[in-house]
Amino acid sequence: MTTSLPRRRLLGAALPAAWGPTLGAAARAGAWLGGAGTAAASLGLSGCAATAPTAAPVQPGPAPGADRAGAASAAADEPPAAPRELRAAWVASVAHIDWPTRTALAAADQRQEALAILDRAQRMGLNAIILQVRPAADALYASALEPWSEYLTGEQGRAPSPAYDPLAFWVEQAHRRGLELHAWFNPYRARHTTARTALAPPHVGLVRPEWVRTYGEMLWMDPGEEGAAAHTLAVMTDVVRRYDVDAVHIDDYFYPYPVTREGAEVPFPDEAAWSRYRAAGGSLGREDWRRANVDNLVQAMYREVHRIKPHVRVGISPFGIGRPDRRPPGIQGFSQYDKLYADVERWLQEGWLDYLVPQLYWAIDRPAQAFGVLLDYWLAQNTRARHMWAGLYTSRVGAPESARAWPAREVIDQVALTRTRANATGHVHFSMVALMQDREGLATSLQQGAYAEPALVPATPWLGSERPAAPRLSRAGAAPGVRAGAGPGSVPVAWAVWQRVQGRWRFAVQPVRARDAMSVLALEEPLQGLAPDAQAIVVSAVDRLGHESARVRLGAA
């Protein structure tokens, strides 16, 4: 981790002050079977040769390992269920952890760095990027609510020149590569220790200083100030309205991690908000009041995001250890329930999120914070069956400044361990830098091993049940082509493609080039990566909630 980010020791676990997805120096980052081939001859295609879709829609598949076993069966006439697994990485902007890599990088160079990250992510088999767009009440996108981030241009409030909108660019380029783009917000941090330039309008510290507190070396919006919470919510919903993001995502910074002075914790300075609450007749104790403030933001975020765009998912990445009164035997460490006032267990039980990414930043064999034990704990709390994706401390692999660096095998083993839990349907790497650097060959090992077969993001049926219409298969030039099916149904964003080669089914995911509801129906595009000797092709359409259409088959089994 970077030396610019100070460390803190939390009850036996050495952690940085910037704990969370923004830990410190970290990890950057095929889905395809090869170049577009022509299977027309072996399939005997002429004109339109699509067959009728199967009667029942495809259901979400099991873990990728099980799907590979199913694909190996040469006797199977139908392809197995599509592999399902969230494979993502955080891309942190604060302190130049991932992107952009240095201050005042030229706009063209910023775009080149972004494309390099997205290309690596696609090539190694990821299917989502979680991009930090609001590190400290600032913006890495065009905003009327908050100033341009200094991490983007070198000076807070200065727009990129020549002008462009980084978030719009990331969304477009991610979707072009078949990657989801999740917009990541820090909910209450107002200034980071690595900031070097003055606050600029309309930063909340200038226009509403009564909401902002100095705590340690940072500025924080007070979660007890209703206006501060409303502002954070307005920032997130503004992005949901204006950008085609697949999800919004918040990290573990609610009330800040405790600052210590001479061995004692310094109280967070929220006396003004607390006194107003008590004067207005509030009856909660101070700790419960703080937890209620955080609960209110989480609940409002879930409600408002889905009111604006029902398909946009809401994700939270909390500290990885649960509340003390519920922990498994032997688990020890920091209590976010008592110190950050984050009642994560309640959020799961109330269904105020679509996915949880607990930061499980410890090794499998670490007794007091064992990775597998903590994962099982969160799975047990997940009574509403929301997505549960493990946060992995990938940046610890080969970290040159850390005496506690991990071998690449630790992350590979953690990925394998998650796959042994039926309801742990994915994982997120913190962060892309280690994957971009391919530390100890980790990115290559994942690409050739755990990620060798692409996977769809797990479906989110509680946000909607409509499925896309079955696609149409036809000849598009020399090779088979595909277009969206006619009739009602959700809009497809990808094609799930199986091809049978030498008796074995191969799976691939091809992004739909146009995601607009009108143009996609008129679009015909060739299927990519087909083997010349493919005996059959099966295709389904996949929408942005992960629902699959009925399958369409081309060619003889």
The domain locations on the chain are: 7-30+86-326+350-357+399-407+419-454, 40-83+465-554
Distance CA 299, CA 297 (A): 6
Q: Which two tokens stand for residue 37?
A: 């081939």
Class of the domain covering 40-83+465-554: mainly beta
Q: How many CA atoms lie within 13 A of 354 on its CB side?
A: 25
Q: In degrees, to the nearest 5, what angle opens at C-alpha 142 toward C-alphas 136 and 144?
A: 80
State the pLDDT at residue 16: 36
Output the CA torsion 60→62→65→68 (10° steps): -60
Sheet of 536-543: strand order equals: 504-511, 492-501, 536-543, 552-554
| CA R_g for the chain | 24
Same topology, domains 7-30+86-326+350-357+399-407+419-454 and 40-83+465-554? Answer is no
Instruction: Specify whether domain 7-30+86-326+350-357+399-407+419-454 bears CATH 3.40.50.
Output: no
Helix (H) or strand (E) holding 415: helix 408-418
Ordered strands of the 180-185 beta sheet: 387-388, 355-356, 313-316, 247-250, 180-185, 128-134, 86-91, 426-429, 390-392
> Over the chain (557 residues), what is each successive 10-residue block's mean pLDDT?
32 37 34 29 29 30 42 63 98 96 92 98 98 98 97 95 96 97 98 96 98 97 98 98 98 96 95 97 98 98 98 98 96 97 98 98 96 98 98 92 86 98 97 97 98 98 94 73 75 93 94 62 74 90 96 72
Structure-block tokens of residue 368? 């007091």
Confirm if 318 and 359 have CB atoms less than 8 A apart: yes
Q: For the whole model, what pTM was predicted?
A: 0.87
Give the pLDDT of residue 50: 32
Cα 220 to Cα 18, 154, 189: the distances in Å are: 13, 21, 5
Surface-to-core class of residue 421, CB atoms within 10 Å of its CB (0-12 exposed, 13-18 middle, 19+ buried): middle
Distance of CA 261 to the CA centre of its chain: 35
**Quick check: helix, strand or coil at residue 408?**
helix
Q: What is the DSSP string of 465-522?
A: ---PPPPEEEEETTEEEEEPPSSSSPPEEEEEEEEEETTEEEEEEEE-S---TTGGGG
